[in-house]
Amino acid sequence: MPENAPLSPADIDRIIEMGWEDRTPFEAIEAQFGLAEKDVITLMRREMKASSFRMWRARMSGRATKHRALRPTEVDGFKSNQQRSISLNKLSKR
């Protein structure tokens, strides 16, 4: 993705989805979208409800699976077929 290119709504949805996924490291988001961890945090803060953002930050803080350097073993891209899609930043729950 070109530097400083505006993100489409679909890109924002995908970044949020990748941010919520336990097994997707911030490095994968940076490789695909060019957003560093601090940029992902800023985007999540801007796009999510305050309570959802706080819950996400509590889950992600220090989580080994979100940082490649903290992982005990190298895991390549993984997406379970059990994961739900996010549409227009609204999680489809229950």
Query: Total domain count for the chain?
Result: 1
What are the E-state strand segments in the chain? Answer: 86-87, 90-91
Residue 56: which domain range? 9-67
**pLDDT of the residue at 23:** 82
Q: Whole-angstrom distance between the N-terminal and C-terminal Cα of the chain?
A: 34
Q: 60 pLDDT band (50/70/90 cuts)?
A: confident
Whether the pLDDT of residue 86 is over 70: the answer is no
| Single-letter amino acid, residue 17 | E
Mean pLDDT over residues 38-58, rounded?
93
Residue 36 neighbours by CB under 8 Å, 6+ apart: 26, 30
Whether the pLDDT of residue 53 is over 60: the answer is yes
Asked whether residue 35 is assigned to any structural domain, the reply reads yes
For the entire predicted model, the pTM comes to 0.64
14: exposed, middle or buried (Cβ count in 10 Å: 0-12, 13-18, 19+): middle
**pLDDT of the residue at 6:** 85
- 83 versus 44: the higher-pLDDT residue is 44
Asked whether residue 40 is assigned to any structural domain, the reply reads yes
